[in-house]
Chains A and B, each alone.
Chain A
Amino acid sequence: MDYLQYLRKDKMPHIWCDGCGHGIVLKSILRVIDKLGWDKNNIAMISGIGCSSRTPGYVDFNTLHTTHGRGLTFATGLKIARPDLHVIVVSGDGDATAIGGNHFIHAARRNIDISVIIYNNYIYGMTGGQVSPTTPGGKKASTTPYGNPDTPFDISRLAQAAGAAYVARSTAFHVGKMDRYIEQAFTKTGFSVVEVLTPCPTSYGRRNKEGRGVDMLMYQKQNSIGIEQAKGKTAEELKGKYITGVFVDKEQADYRQRYDEVIKKASKLNK
């Protein structure tokens, strides 16, 4: 497949470090868009700030690079004004669940028809490796040099609890699964989330002695387990394992349908 037709070639090569998984996730997004045959002019890709949030800068769609954690707020306004557009938000674990955490849970609760791809590398990559809400307990970050004392968020479970219509998690290594989940998310009406676990060798791997990007992908290859197989296993057995699969896939009225109802009621009353 020709990826270059979707890229702003003058912006390449991208800034991501050698072995960073973000480029692998972007490729999966582009493969799905190509398969669905979407017109570039009908796609809007929106982000906040972070290495992951650099993605819209490289793609030849309608793009918005907004403020940290606020990609979803701009996307919400855009989707309400232009419901005909395919609105995709790309975000990092810090962008989506630290500074933008509230926007994330409320967008899920509202079930607005937006797809969010979260590149979860357990760290603030761009700013040099500060601890993030998904850094596993005990892991090192520049702000937790003796190990993280906090319990991490499970982004997929968070999205599920907040009411998203579709939630799935893949690793960057498992490209087949990643493609399938992103396609399901893009074709879902309602709020859809795909969490992709992706290596940040520079700000996370190095500090935690996990090696280069290639080593971190090898770990993903050898230590991932499907939701079904994970059922019935103890916390001890699942330690260090990545649980992947589809967490939620349900039909429910999206924000637009519910808002149309409100408009109908209001216009009857005001006649």
Chain B
Amino acid sequence: MKKNAEITINEQWCKSCEICVAFCPQKVYEMGRFYPKIVRPEDCTACMLCEKLCPDFAITVTVPDKIEKSQ
């Protein structure tokens, strides 16, 4: 079974710049009242673009395969 990547947003560090919302090729995010909401996590391809572009170290995308391998 395909496992989805796990996305977390650290709201303590997020500054609501909306960069993740604008550039995710899969439209995984939508902007909420203060923070982005992860609305389509199942569409995430773990391309890591949102994690690399988030200027505030607020996004972590974890790929399950890699976790399994490293354990």
**Which residues of A pack against B, CB within 8 Å?**
3-4, 7, 12-14, 16-24, 27-28, 31, 173, 175, 212-214, 217-218, 221
Does B19 lie at the interface of the complex (its beta carbon under 8 Å from any beta carbon of A)? yes
A18 is contacted by which of B15, B23, B53 (Cβ under 8 Å)? B15
- Please indicate which of the listed interface residues B13, B22, B55 has the most CB atoms of chain A within 10 Å of its own CB: B55
Does B17 lie at the interface of the complex (its beta carbon under 8 Å from any beta carbon of A)? yes
Binary CB contact string for chain B from 39 to 60 against chain A (1 if under 8 A, 0 otherwise)? 0000000000100111111000
Q: Are B57 and A214 in contact (CB under 8 A)?
A: no
Q: Are B55 and A24 in contact (CB under 8 A)?
A: yes
State A23–B19 Cα separation when bound (angstroms): 12
State A29–B19 Cα separation when bound (angstroms): 19
State A125–B17 Cα separation when bound (angstroms): 18
What chain B residues lie within 8 Å of A22 (beta carbons)?
55
Q: Are B55 and A175 in contact (CB under 8 A)?
A: no
What chain B residues lie within 8 Å of A23 (beta carbons)?
54-57
State A27–B58 Cα separation when bound (angstroms): 12
State A87–B15 Cα separation when bound (angstroms): 31
State A38–B53 Cα separation when bound (angstroms): 23
Q: Are B53 and A217 in contact (CB under 8 A)?
A: yes
State A14–B57 Cα separation when bound (angstroms): 9
* A22 closest partner in B (C-beta): B55
Does B71 lie at the interface of the complex (its beta carbon under 8 Å from any beta carbon of A)? no
- Please indicate which of the listed interface residues A3, A28, A214 has the most CB atoms of chain B within 10 Å of its own CB: A214
Q: Are B18 and A214 in contact (CB under 8 A)?
A: yes
State A18–B56 Cα separation when bound (angstroms): 8
What chain B residues lie within 8 Å of A24 (beta carbons)?
52-55
Q: Are A12 and B19 in contact (CB under 8 A)?
A: no
